[in-house]
Amino acid sequence: MQLLIKNAHIVDINSPYHLQTVDVLIEGDTITAIGKLTSETAQVWDAAGAFVYPGMAELHSDFGEPGNEESENLQSGAAAAAAGGFTAVGVVSNGHPYADNKTGVEFIAHKSDQSPIHLIPIGTVTKGRAGEELSEMFDMHRHGSPFFGDYKHGITNANVLKLALLYSRSFGRIMVHPEDDNLVAGGKMNEGETSTFVGLKGTPALSEYLRIARDLQLLEYTEGALHVASISTKEGIEAIRAAKAKGLNVTCSVNIHHLLYTDKVVSSYDTRFKVSPPLRTSEDQQVLITAVADGTVDCLTVDHLPKDIEQKQCEFDNASFGMAGFEGAVCHLLDAIDLDPERIQALLSTNPRAILGMPEICINEGGVAELTVISQEGQDWTGFASKAFNNPMIGSTTKHAVKAVVVKGAILGE
């Protein structure tokens, strides 16, 4: 591929062209020239002043395969991610057989070679995600897993998490889900005024704080590396701030849907808003937004968890947890929250790529051509690549639009 992108507004703090509007010439998967350019042989595409970021990366999302292909598969998931602006995705293990050994990791790594975007396999911490016996983490790391997590499953046994942090200290990071299973105990949404009003059993914010506090104590004891995923409460943010102030090796992420919605939307009993951790109060949401802006939060995540119609078109109590969101999440985020372009780059590209063990992208001559192009032309989110039923952004309109991604020597979406 030879592509000339005209009038690209570069957002890359590592690039000498940061915040400049320039032309970018790409040959194969390499940026060969930047400036005021013309070409008689290249495909010419006018970005019309759209923001061009280093390729955005997602830390943890479920693509259904293997085990849940009726909801999503690697092909449809990758297409949805690209449509949403992502060039790389950490693919979690959420179906049988679990990726608790090198075979499971190699399955995703092999599929990545055939995928239009990069698929990074995330191995489990424990065998079968049962929380009892450590998985073959070092072997999985050697075959492509940059960190490890029992996706949506908390590790109840403190000794198991302690051993995982000790064992992985030299080669990986442990990702944990911030909910105490005993305190969740059948909760369907956030515990508070709204849960009382709608008559649904609530999950207290305390369940998140207690689990994070315990995990941070274990982190301090082991001197390991920890990533706390999907923080949803002000108490969780406060615990992370304190841990970072102490110098602990901890990173954290917030799901975009926790910045867009509060527990008030559950009043409609729309099962697409049944997620784990649950949507919280507006007070929690404001604390999350502040933490995202001030650098306490390292990454923003879609946490794409696809479900089919049978799992969601039912009574709220019986519906499965999870929200699909690749298509629309970033644009709704940019519409709703005023973040500096540099902060967007850190939250959606630089930091997640580092945790995923991927090289940092620099938009410069000789650099890898892996880009996300976002305009302010507006977008109607109607045609979806994902197989999932549970995306609440279906039918919505945003002021921002994903114009294209450039990855693996191809331009997708233009």
Q: Are residues 179 and 268 located together in one domain of the fold?
A: yes
Q: Are residues 384 and 400 located together in one domain of the fold?
A: yes
**E strand or H helix that includes residue 293:** helix 282-294
Residue 124 has pLDDT above 80, yes or no: yes
Task: Report the candidate in 139, 100, 91, 103 with the shortest Cα–Cα distance to residue 123.
Answer: 100
Mean pLDDT over 278-304 rounds to: 98
- Please tell me the pTM assigned to this model: 0.96
Q: Are residues 118 and 250 located together in one domain of the fold?
A: yes
Residue 391 sits in a domain whose CATH number is: 2.30.40.10
Residue 333 has pLDDT above 90, yes or no: yes
pLDDT, residue 184, reads: 92
Residue 414 has pLDDT above 80, yes or no: no
Confidence of residue 341 (pLDDT cuts 50, 70, 90): very high
Q: Quick one: tokens of 195?
A: 């849960």
Mean pLDDT over 108-128 rounds to: 97
pLDDT, residue 383, reads: 79
Confidence of residue 1 (pLDDT cuts 50, 70, 90): confident
Residue 319 φ/ψ, nearest 5 degrees: -70, 150
Q: Is the dihedral of CA 355, 359, 365, 368 positive or negative?
A: negative
Residue reference for tokens 């999503």: 72
pLDDT, residue 49, reads: 86
pLDDT per position as a tens digit, 380-391: 998 789 999 899
Instruction: State the alpha helices, DSSP H only, in 295-401.
Output: 309-312, 329-336, 341-345, 351-355
pLDDT, residue 128, reads: 96
Angle at 365 between CA 360 and CA 369, to 5 degrees: 50
Q: Residue 211's domain spans which residues?
A: 55-355
State how far the Cα of 171 lies from the Cα of 224, in Å rounded to an integer. 10
Return the active site residues.
303
Residue reference for tokens 């051509």: 369
pLDDT, residue 185, reads: 84
Residue 270 has pLDDT above 90, yes or no: yes
Q: Are residues 319 and 400 located together in one domain of the fold?
A: no
Query: Which one-letter DSSP state was computed for residue 350?
Result: I
pLDDT, residue 267, reads: 97
pLDDT, residue 203, reads: 97
Mean pLDDT over 330-351 rounds to: 98
Residue 329 sits in a domain whose CATH number is: 3.20.20.140
Task: Report the candidate in 29, 24, 6 with the shortest Cα–Cα distance to residue 359.
Answer: 29
pLDDT per position as a tens digit, 209-226: 999 999 999 999 999 999
pLDDT, residue 413, reads: 84
Q: Are residues 151 and 219 located together in one domain of the fold?
A: yes
Residue 64 has pLDDT above 90, yes or no: yes
